[in-house]
Structure 1
């Protein structure tokens, strides 16, 4: 049996019998987080330009954080870009990327078109999330280290799964859609730190849904699009660098949103900087450090993470999100890393530039790829060192619901009034009881702010 058909069987078989209380709660926590960051991301310049560039046609799908609707595929593109615009969306360590953003962008757009129920929306999100994450153990580390952006490449197949559930495709149709998606998946790490990175998410959501639409309408694809000698596995990875059974055998056993679980970001920047940020925050708190007392800062992070975060001279706000030096500097200066530190030219502030000049970052190749060590030498010659194995918010150190709600409110309030934010929170946390997804998506529209205004 082909890989596409084996994976399709898993996707099609998924039903609400799996939705126990623990699983349902984690799905809603994931949705809560990604909705909040999508609302805040709707205001970002990359989202504005994507909205302008697609040449919007009115349609059935709500544009998150805007007072307008678009075609399903355009909404998936724009909402996906918004979801990842701040690089504040959740992570799953199995895939080395962000599963909820492409999943939510695809699910919300198509569910809105089809007026799906809350349960149908939840199942589509779960199928998309699981499909996206489970690609990781079968293809990493080579896929990531080669330069592919797994949020985009794997997220395309997740979006197919979302489409398959909402369209109620059969196994053969779903297998064809997955085969089509093999020719649509893309996304390069060379574009990290630019608007293209969040656009990857929008494009993967769009392409996965488009593949599902094509399959639904009778399009065909090679049944061996994955395992063919010139198929996805060989071309994107290469011989001897993938184990396809690892993708299938653990799909839903257990669901990856439970184990290893959601890793919700505390800091609004690239996840590869987070352990270094946490180490700096602990040093600051434990030793009463202040900028004027610090002579030198040394950081050591994993080689393949430093490759895209070694940016000692960030040129833009997006560049700053991928600068471990800049993020640590802000942590030392303020005791927190905030969204405002990546806005309005903050990366060029004279005071942060003084701190950046004190930072030296080097790679390590320890077994724990999340490990970071930060050492600070003070002006009076003292040296303090702190190592962190896993960032706050990650699976073994989860964000409490109280803190997640606070994050949801702080991000959502950038786009919506407080009363609407409170209603959206309650709608997400009771989503399984909703008969029409419009009850939620209507709450995610900013009344009175037109799509044309966003695109100006």
Structure 2
């Protein structure tokens, strides 16, 4: 059965099997996720999730950005929501979503409860990402285009697998965890642009952790819940719309975090807008253009990406994160796209609204729907003095190993994310600990530093660009 085969391969993953550059990516991904979670801790969606649970002040797991500890399931929910609150977390071409945010909050909460070592956490993280992304290879992109939010639906399996691996569950119980996860997966793209999108991640982190805990306690499930006629594949994708063998044949060969790799975000908005932003910034820099010099902008992107980013009239900050027109206007007017651009008031700035009228976003006429190469953009700028400049970006910076961010960029991003929330010395200690994760005897020590370093003043919002 499919889940049995997946479980066997997941259990067989060893850190010794992961090349050093793959481990370096994994450490940076965990660091990046911790950073964006700290930055998202004070967002309204995170605070709502916390209030609704009413669980602060009791438990074994750190609540990021707070001095409190809560129960592991509550920590996974709240920290998971925070990790995606700013849409600044990493991405995956295979997943069609965000690979680390579903896994790290669930794994961190469990690791603190269990007193797990850093090496154990790193091994579990690599395993969780591999499971979710290989399932994704078997169901995408029909799964994505049908309206499911893969970060949430498939991230549930990543969280469950990571937690099962950390608890060293045997093959039978590990399979049960994934079978339980089949009934817990959920998340609709209809809620993009609202607080429910980041809550998807909190929910799937919790559900993945809960599935693994339930399996450890003996809850039964159908080991054929993936391929059953009324199982995950048929219900979520439908007959003829998946390839189950791709999940198995390509498992850890290569590891997905290496090929196609983890995509790290340069801009704090929907990744589908990033290629157009990079192309436009390149044009304005190369030709020394300012907003007053620009008469019109045309952006062509893959229809799969434009479907949820063609928003010429965003009504909120969250909505603005998914508006290619809005982020392009900000890129021109401010020279970068920053977190403070996604305040509700910023989206209604009259100057920005006026400039957005010069921007047209269209599907690229040569796009191939079956292709996995869908993170490109073709941008054309017409100036007020009659010149036209056009640039094509195949993938944005940070999208893969062939388009890396500048060296040290992720470490700088982590410090910027952490700065409003925790003291600088605590942030430096956390950064060093995560970048040397295998040397940490107990992950709880990092949580201790995080809680003790929380700033007592009201956090200010960091400005990223």
TM-score tier after normalising by the smaller chain length: over 0.9
Q: How does 1:203-282 map to 2 (within 5 A)?
A: 203-282=203-282
Q: How does 1:317-356 map to 2 (within 5 A)?
A: 317-343=317-343, 345-356=345-356
Aligned to 2:410: 404
The Cα offsets for residues 304-345 of structure 1, whole Å up to 9 and x where unpaired, read as: 211111111111111110000000111111221111111262
Asked if structure 2 preserves the Cα contact closer than 8 Å seen for 1:138 and 1:244, the reply is yes
Alpha-carbon separation, structure 1, partners of 2:280 and 2:336? 10
Alpha-carbon separation, structure 2, partners of 1:355 and 1:408? 32
Aligned to 1:29: 28
Asked if structure 2 preserves the Cα contact closer than 8 Å seen for 1:65 and 1:446, the reply is no
Asked if structure 2 preserves the Cα contact closer than 8 Å seen for 1:262 and 1:394, the reply is yes
> What is the CA-CA distance between 1:5 and the residue it aligns to?
0.4
**If the length of structure 2 is used for normalisation, what is the TM-score?**
0.94
Asked if structure 1 preserves the Cα contact closer than 8 Å seen for 2:278 and 2:397, the reply is yes
Aligned to 1:393: 398
Asked if structure 1 preserves the Cα contact closer than 8 Å seen for 2:31 and 2:414, the reply is yes
Instruction: Give the secondary-structure state (helix, strand or coil) at the position aligned to 1:361.
Output: strand
> What is the CA-CA distance between 1:231 and the residue it aligns to?
0.6
Aligned to 1:366: 367
Aligned to 2:312: 312
Instruction: Give the secondary-structure state (helix, strand or coil) at the position aligned to 2:307.
Output: helix
Give me the CA root mean square deviation. 1.7
The Cα offsets for residues 4-26 of structure 1, whole Å up to 9 and x where unpaired, read as: 10111011222333244222211
Asked if structure 2 preserves the Cα contact closer than 8 Å seen for 1:137 and 1:247, the reply is yes
Asked if structure 2 preserves the Cα contact closer than 8 Å seen for 1:66 and 1:447, the reply is no
Aligned to 1:380: 385
The Cα offsets for residues 274-294 of structure 1, whole Å up to 9 and x where unpaired, read as: 000011101111122111121
Larger mean Cα displacement after TM superposition, 126-135 or 230-239: 126-135
Alpha-carbon separation, structure 1, partners of 2:454 and 2:321? 31
Alpha-carbon separation, structure 2, partners of 1:16 and 1:311? 43
Whether 2:305 is the aligned partner of 1:300: answer no
Aligned to 2:90: 90
The Cα offsets for residues 402-426 of structure 1, whole Å up to 9 and x where unpaired, read as: 1111111111112111111111111
Whether 2:442 is the aligned partner of 1:441: answer no
**If the length of structure 1 is used for normalisation, what is the TM-score?**
0.96
> What is the CA-CA distance between 1:399 and the residue it aligns to?
2.1
Alpha-carbon separation, structure 2, partners of 1:31 and 1:66? 19
Q: Which one of the candidate residues 411, 422, 432 is aligned to 1:416?
A: 422
Alpha-carbon separation, structure 1, partners of 2:281 and 2:15? 42
> What is the CA-CA distance between 1:448 and the residue it aligns to?
5.9
Whether 2:63 is the aligned partner of 1:56: answer no
Asked if structure 2 preserves the Cα contact closer than 8 Å seen for 1:5 and 1:175, the reply is yes
**Structure 1 runs not aligned, ≥5 long:** none
Q: How does 1:32-43 map to 2 (within 5 A)?
A: 32-43=31-42
Whether 2:16 is the aligned partner of 1:6: answer no
Asked if structure 1 preserves the Cα contact closer than 8 Å seen for 2:423 and 2:453, the reply is no
Alpha-carbon separation, structure 1, partners of 2:108 and 2:7? 21
Asked if structure 1 preserves the Cα contact closer than 8 Å seen for 2:421 and 2:455, the reply is no
Distance 1:449 1:404, change over 3 A: closer
Alpha-carbon separation, structure 2, partners of 1:212 and 1:356? 47
Alpha-carbon separation, structure 2, partners of 1:412 and 1:348? 28
Aligned to 2:68: 68
The Cα offsets for residues 185-231 of structure 1, whole Å up to 9 and x where unpaired, read as: 01000100111111111100111111111111111111210101111
Instruction: Give the secondary-structure state (helix, strand or coil) at the position aligned to 1:390.
Output: coil
Alpha-carbon separation, structure 1, partners of 2:325 and 2:338? 15
Alpha-carbon separation, structure 2, partners of 1:231 and 1:339? 40
Larger mean Cα displacement after TM superposition, 401-410 or 146-155: 401-410
Asked if structure 1 preserves the Cα contact closer than 8 Å seen for 2:276 and 2:379, the reply is yes
Alpha-carbon separation, structure 1, partners of 2:29 and 2:222? 34
Asked if structure 2 preserves the Cα contact closer than 8 Å seen for 1:73 and 1:210, the reply is yes
Instruction: Give the secondary-structure state (helix, strand or coil) at the position aligned to 1:445.
Output: helix
How many residue pairs get aligned? The number is: 452
Alpha-carbon separation, structure 2, partners of 1:138 and 1:20? 24
Alpha-carbon separation, structure 2, partners of 1:85 and 1:363? 28
Asked if structure 2 preserves the Cα contact closer than 8 Å seen for 1:135 and 1:154, the reply is yes
Asked if structure 1 preserves the Cα contact closer than 8 Å seen for 2:33 and 2:83, the reply is yes
> What is the CA-CA distance between 1:443 and the residue it aligns to?
2.4
Instruction: Give the secondary-structure state (helix, strand or coil) at the position aligned to 2:45.
Output: helix
Alpha-carbon separation, structure 2, partners of 1:191 and 1:81? 14
